[in-house]
């Protein structure tokens, strides 16, 4: 008898499961209607963003990773910020002036700029933020060496005096990664060198931090008291209107899930899609690809040890490589790479110089063999190390291996997962060449792969480069800067501290419900509408 009951129970359970499945079909229909209503309002709504990797922290001052930047730049703002052409424009500052000797910067803060906790930005807050920035930011540490003192003139005016002429100062405080974000004084002092905790995430941006459920989502909501600028400058400044009520950054790692989620309206925007899927996306209705520049890929030889401490071997390396072939077989679609030997992207008009990049595409296998014969290289194994979390680095390394072996190098590939890679990178004994990419940078100071005598630059030591960096600091006019940039290209071209492969373009996808979206260099959702 009992068993009979059990069987009946099973049947009921199965039936109820089926009912549940059907019942939910109608619930999702209702949400569909909800979206329809929003269509008429044109403002408000929630944006669901499938974001590929969870940031470790949202402390934009201290952490230079892209996930931190992409989410935190909705929350925090800087005194001055980059516009869409990468020029420095005021943001929290009303305006600024530079003294005739170029050492004293006087910054006037806009009136009534509100923090998310309701307080108003004052000169004290700016000063405290500056002090913290000098401690925690890699850019801030460099700038710090040039700062003599910073004082409060009045409630809304700060005066920063430099100990020498250093024209990179404004670029440094405006850096999209680890720039001088303004936070309330108490928080800046309380946090000190430690990363900001979630309840310390108080900025002045159009969106405020609401909630972070680790492993699942980061929620930002519209900041009602946001003090908006009106200029149409783009980038990270000018008019930044919070039209959407809420932005959910959902952590979604699998690209196929992102694509499926976008197709089924689960997400409105999905970040970091493998470029292989480009054609599939173009063929999908209601889905649009979004592309933007994302720095470039490169090979960095270890210049502290044989064989690549010898310039001849580095030249042989450069002549041995057919970069067009490497890029073609790595990125495939021409939409996603560009062959350009400059240090900066062509869209960065103030920083771009195409002069003196002759060695970039100088393929000559015979010359490579000759140089190799002249050098001390005698067939020892060359280790190319890369991180296997990125498909592009893997493919580049494989093609490079093949091309180098053609001219007589003996090459070994060593892939590691990212954490192991980072540790191995700092010890010259582990590698001879690394394959890596650097995201778009906005000043020569930020080129981490050229910072003297560090693991990241493969222990690059060059008086010539250091001189140029000093000159860059004191250059005032556009023409002077262009000249220095050309000399920088020349130096890189001759000394070969790193070998650029190709400019990279990143692919995101968005639903066609998103309106007026401007890609720039990463996902930013102010001034963005959703139907």
Partner 1 sequence: MLHYTMRRILAMIPVLFIVSVIVFMIVHLTPGNPAFLILGEDSSPEAVEQLEQQLGLDQPKVIQYFDWLKNIFIGDLGQSIYSEESVTQIISERIGPTFSLMIISILLTLIIAIPIAIFIVWKRNTFLDPLFLSGSLLGTSIPEFWLALLLVLGFGVSIPIFPVAGYIPLTDGFLSWIHHLLLPSIVLAAVEVGLIARMLRDSMLESVNQDYTKTARGKGVKERKVLMKHVFSNALIPTTTVVGVTIAGLLGGTVIIETIFTIPGIGQLLIDSIHRRDYPVIQGVILFIAFIYVLINLLVDLLYAFLDPRIRYD
**Residue among 161, 311, 448, 474 that touches partner 1 (CB under 8 A):** 448
**Residue among 261, 295, 301, 341 that touches partner 1 (CB under 8 A):** 261
- Looking at beta carbons only, is 85 or 423 nearer to partner 1? 423
Rule CB under 8 A: say whether 266 interacts with partner 1: yes
Three-state DSSP string of 305-326: CCCCCCHHHHHHHHHHCCHHHH
Can you tell me the distance from the alpha carbon of 473 to that of 166, in angstroms, rounded to the nearest whole number? 5
Give the HSE-up count for residue 121: Cα atoms under 13 Å, Cβ half-sphere. 33
- Looking at beta carbons only, is 1 or 118 nearer to partner 1? 1
| Residue 174: other Cβ atoms inside 10 A | 27
Can you tell me the distance from the alpha carbon of 139 to that of 165, in angstroms, rounded to the nearest whole number? 17
Sequence-ordered list of residues with C-beta below 8 angstroms from that of 138, at least 6 positions apart, any chain? 64, 178
DSSP state of 275: G
Chain-centre distance for alpha carbon 233: 20
Rule CB under 8 A: say whether 415 interacts with partner 1: no
Q: x/- contact string, 88-127, with partner 1 (CB under 8 A)? A: ----------------------------------------
- Looking at beta carbons only, is 27 or 378 nearer to partner 1? 27
Q: x/- contact string, 193-212, with partner 1 (CB under 8 A)? A: --x-x---------------
**Residue among 151, 153, 280, 422 that touches partner 1 (CB under 8 A):** 422
Q: How far is CA 107 from CA 95, 433, 477, in A?
A: 6, 45, 21
Rule CB under 8 A: say whether 456 interacts with partner 1: yes
Contacts to partner 1 from residues 123-152, by CB under 8 A: 138
Q: What are phi and psi of 153, to 5 degrees?
A: -85, -55
- Looking at beta carbons only, is 54 or 94 nearer to partner 1? 54
Q: Are 497 and 303 spatial neighbours (Cβ–Cβ below 8 Å)? A: yes
Minimum Å distance from CB 140 to partner 1? 13
**Residue among 72, 79, 128, 252 that touches partner 1 (CB under 8 A):** 252
Can you tell me the distance from the alpha carbon of 63 to that of 320, in angstroms, rounded to the nearest whole number? 37
Rule CB under 8 A: say whether 418 interacts with partner 1: yes
Rule CB under 8 A: say whether 14 interacts with partner 1: yes
**Residue among 63, 294, 315, 398 that touches partner 1 (CB under 8 A):** 63
Judged by CB under 8 A, the stretch of 57-65, 270-278, 307-315, 406-414 that binds partner 1 is 57-65
Rule CB under 8 A: say whether 163 interacts with partner 1: no
Q: Are 254 and 492 spatial neighbours (Cβ–Cβ below 8 Å)? A: no
Find, among 96, 100, 98, the residue nearest to 108 by Cα. 96
Give just the sign of the alpha carbon dihedral 307, 309, 313, 315. Answer: positive
Can you tell me the distance from the alpha carbon of 408 to that of 368, in angstroms, rounded to the nearest whole number? 9
**Residue among 8, 42, 211, 260 that touches partner 1 (CB under 8 A):** 260
Find, among 209, 167, 206, the residue nearest to 187 by Cα. 209
Rule CB under 8 A: say whether 453 interacts with partner 1: no
Judged by CB under 8 A, the stretch of 51-59, 112-120, 482-490, 491-499 that binds partner 1 is 51-59
Judged by CB under 8 A, the stretch of 11-19, 114-122, 144-152, 271-279 that binds partner 1 is 11-19
SS3 (DSSP) at 98: strand
**Residue among 49, 51, 52, 57 that touches partner 1 (CB under 8 A):** 57
Please give the helix or strand (H or E) that residue 104 lies within, else none. Answer: strand 104-109
Q: What number of chain residues touch partner 1 (CB under 8 A)?
A: 54
Peptide bond into 187 cis (omega under 30): no
Rule CB under 8 A: say whether 277 interacts with partner 1: no
- Looking at beta carbons only, is 76 or 226 nearer to partner 1? 76
Rule CB under 8 A: say whether 213 interacts with partner 1: yes
Q: What are phi and psi of 137, to 5 degrees?
A: -95, 135
Judged by CB under 8 A, the stretch of 4-12, 168-176, 394-402, 519-527 that binds partner 1 is 4-12
Rule CB under 8 A: say whether 47 interacts with partner 1: no
Q: Are 274 and 391 spatial neighbours (Cβ–Cβ below 8 Å)? A: yes
Can you tell me the distance from the alpha carbon of 478 to that of 202, in angstroms, rounded to the nearest whole number? 36
- Looking at beta carbons only, is 81 or 250 nearer to partner 1? 250
Minimum Å distance from CB 207 to partner 1? 21
Do strands 46-51 and 246-251 pair parallel, antiparallel, or not at all (unpaired)? parallel
Judged by CB under 8 A, the stretch of 7-15, 144-152, 402-410, 473-481 that binds partner 1 is 7-15
- Helical H runs in 338-390? 365-374
Minimum Å distance from CB 30 to partner 1? 12
**Residue among 39, 253, 464, 470 that touches partner 1 (CB under 8 A):** 253
Mind giving me the DSSP string for 420-479?
A: HHHHHHT-GGG-SEEEEEE---SSGGG-GGGSTTSTTTTS---HHHHHHHHHHHH--SHH
| Residue 356: other Cβ atoms inside 10 A | 19
**Residue among 251, 300, 484, 521 that touches partner 1 (CB under 8 A):** 251
Rule CB under 8 A: say whether 65 interacts with partner 1: yes
Contacts to partner 1 from residues 168-197, by CB under 8 A: 195, 197
Q: Point out which residues bind partner 1 (CB under 8 A).
A: 3-4, 7, 10, 13-14, 17, 20-21, 23-25, 27-28, 54, 56-57, 63-65, 138, 195, 197, 213-216, 250-254, 256-257, 260-261, 263-264, 266, 416-420, 422-426, 436, 448, 451, 454, 456
């Amino acid at each position: 008898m009992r068993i009979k009951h059990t069987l009946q129970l099973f049947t009921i359970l199965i039936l109820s499961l089926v009912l549940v499945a059907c019942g939910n079909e109608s619930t999702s229909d209702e949400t569909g209607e909800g979206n329809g209503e929003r269509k008429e309002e044109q403002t408000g709504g929630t944006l669901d963003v499938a974001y590929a990797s969870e940031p470790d922290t949202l402390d934009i001052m201290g952490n230079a990773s892209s996930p931190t930047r992409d989410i935190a730049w909705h929350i925090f703002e800087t005194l001055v910020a980059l516009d869409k052409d990468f020029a420095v424009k005021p943001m929290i500052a009303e305006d600024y002036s530079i003294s005739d000797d170029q050492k004293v910067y006087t910054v006037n803060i806009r009136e009534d700029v509100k923090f998310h906790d309701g307080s108003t930005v004052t000169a004290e807050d700016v000063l405290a933020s500056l002090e913290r920035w000098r401690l925690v930011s890699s850019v801030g540490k460099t700038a710090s060496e040039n700062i003599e003192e910073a004082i409060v003139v009045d409630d809304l005016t700060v005066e920063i005096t430099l100990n020498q002429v250093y024209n990179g100062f404004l670029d440094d405080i405006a850096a999209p990664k680890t720039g001088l974000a303004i936070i309330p004084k108490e928080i800046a002092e309380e946090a000190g060198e430690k990363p900001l905790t979630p309840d310390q995430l108080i900025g002045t941006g159009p969106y405020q931090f609401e909630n972070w459920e680790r492993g699942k989502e980061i929620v930002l909501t519209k900041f009602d008291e946001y003090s908006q600028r009106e200029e149409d400058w783009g980038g990270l400044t000018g008019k930044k209107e919070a039209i959407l009520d809420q932005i959910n950054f959902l952590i979604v790692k699998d690209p196929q899930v992102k694509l499926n989620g976008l197709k089924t309206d689960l997400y409105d925007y999905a970040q970091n899609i493998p470029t292989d899927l480009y054609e599939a996306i173009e063929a999908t209705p209601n889905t649009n690809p979004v592309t933007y520049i994302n720095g470039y890929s490169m090979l960095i030889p270890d210049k502290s040890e044989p064989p690549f401490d010898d310039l001849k071997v580095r030249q042989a390396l450069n002549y041995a490589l057919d970069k067009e072939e490497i890029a073609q077989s790595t990125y495939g679609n021409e939409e996603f790479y560009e062959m350009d030997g400059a240090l900066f992207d062509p869209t960065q008009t103030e920083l771009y110089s195409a002069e003196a990049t002759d060695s970039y595409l100088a393929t000559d296998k015979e010359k490579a063999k000759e140089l190799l014969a002249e050098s001390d290289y005698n067939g020892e194994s060359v280790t190319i190390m890369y991180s296997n979390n990125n498909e592009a680095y893997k493919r580049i390394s494989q093609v490079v291996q093949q091309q180098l072996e053609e001219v007589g190098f003996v090459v070994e590939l060593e892939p590691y997962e990212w954490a192991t890679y980072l540790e191995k990178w700092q010890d010259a004994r582990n590698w001879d060449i690394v394959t890596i990419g650097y995201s778009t940078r906005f000043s020569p100071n930020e080129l981490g792969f050229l910072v003297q005598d560090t693991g990241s630059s493969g222990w690059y030591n060059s008086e010539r480069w250091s001189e140029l960096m000093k000159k860059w600091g004191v250059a005032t006019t556009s023409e002077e800067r262009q000249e220095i940039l050309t000399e920088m290209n020349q130096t890189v071209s001759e000394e070969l501290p790193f070998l650029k492969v190709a400019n990279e373009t990143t692919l995101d996808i968005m639903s066609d419900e998103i309106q007026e979206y401007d890609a720039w260099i990463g996902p930013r959702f102010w001034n963005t509408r959703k139907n």
